[in-house]
Amino acid sequence: MSEPTKTKATIGVLTETADGERRVALDPTAVASLVKLGHAVLIESGAGDAASFRDAAYVTAGATISTHAQVVAGCDVLAVVRAPVSTLAKKLRSDQILIGLLDPLNNIQGMKALSDRRVTAVAFELLPRTVSRSQAMDALSSQASAAGYRAAIVAAAAFDRYLPMMITASGTATPAKVMVIGTGVAGLQAIATAKRLGAVVTGYDVRAASRQEVESLGAKFLTSTIQQAAGNGGYAKALTPEERTTQQGELSTALTAFDIIITTAKVPGRTPPVLVTEQTIRALRPGSVCVDLGSSDKGGNVVGSVPGQSILTTGGVTVIGAGELAADLPASASQMYGRNIVAVIGSLMPKGVLAFDPKDEIHASIVVCTAGEIVNPTVRAALNIAPIGVTSTKEKVLAA
């Protein structure tokens, strides 16, 4: 008689508590994948309700429905969508693993606190997107895809005219002109969706290589005089102040011809770049709509955007702060995010226990801290900690 299969690790999922957050870290399909791999899964009761995943579906997938306290106390890995609030972080015990969109470069002290508690923190934002095997783990891209699609839908709902050309017995309505600024994953999805809705779409990007992708979707491409390469890890590189001024000048001249503007520019760990200035907002026609996917508490791509709010300017322009728009498509976004979680667990815990390899490019990037030490180079630099293997002057003095 064969022995029963031993559970590898226990994965926990809690109800997300951030304002407006409707996603859940694991959907039932992701749970079934983890259970098939030999893991146990604890789900806080009601955690998936906002994304239309009921407790019964999780039970069918093999999860155990538990209370908040039982999940925190009983899991080896806590999967989250957004960084936990400090009260929850303080409940995590030594050697637990936290995986999610932790926003580490804007939450440096929070990362330090997790390290001090000897929690292993894994942040999707630090994933090197140029490594081919990282694609299954790329939560920023999966969530940006959802946000880009939703941005076009939100813009269409806020726009008070037709998007496509409409020929009726009462006359002909001209199609709406849509500009999408930034042609990464979110931008391309916004372009594709706006095209399906019948709008005349233009994409703008400082990366000349984006032209082919934009035009392949049937959209026009607005050429920039700035020739800018991608930054480290496949993320957008921040422009210099001179380049930013040039970019704003280009856009302010071009944007007044458009009815809808969707901005998508985010640079991890930095304040979002301003792409639609106050002068441009004043020059837009009444009824125009701006959807700002870069909107955050640090600012946004559109002057005056407020996260989670729709504002009508005195000039009749609607400005929508939509920095977390993937949360408005919770079922699909959660399904994609769950696959990202499963892929990360498979890489970091192939046998059910943490197997952090500092020589592995993906591990070295996404693991912020482990065993009581900040190990990610970028986070170490932000905390003024010398690179691993290099003794700082302060450390030399303490050792003496």
Indicate which residues carry an active-site annotation.
129, 135, 138, 141, 235
Q: Which tokens belong to 258?
A: 């458009």
Crossing angle of the two packed helices 139-158 and 330-348, in degrees rounded to 10: 170
Which of 136, 138, 115, 118 lies closest to 126, judged by CA?
138
Strand partners, 367: 122
Question: Got the DSSP string for 83-130?
Answer: PPPHHHHTTPPTT-EEEEE--GGG-HHHHHHHHHTT-EEEEGGG--TT
Cα–Cα distance for residue pair 340/135, rounded to 1 Å = 9
* Rounded distance between C-alpha atoms, residue 17 and residue 22, angstroms: 9
Shortest CA distance to 189 belongs to which of 156, 220, 243, 153? 153
Reduce the DSSP state of residue 182 to 3 states and report it.
coil
Distance CA 15, CA 23 (A): 9
Q: Which phi and psi (to 5°) does residue 108 adopt?
A: -60, -45
Q: Do 387 and 376 form a contact (C-beta atoms < 8 A)?
A: no
Give the CA diameter of the chain: 89
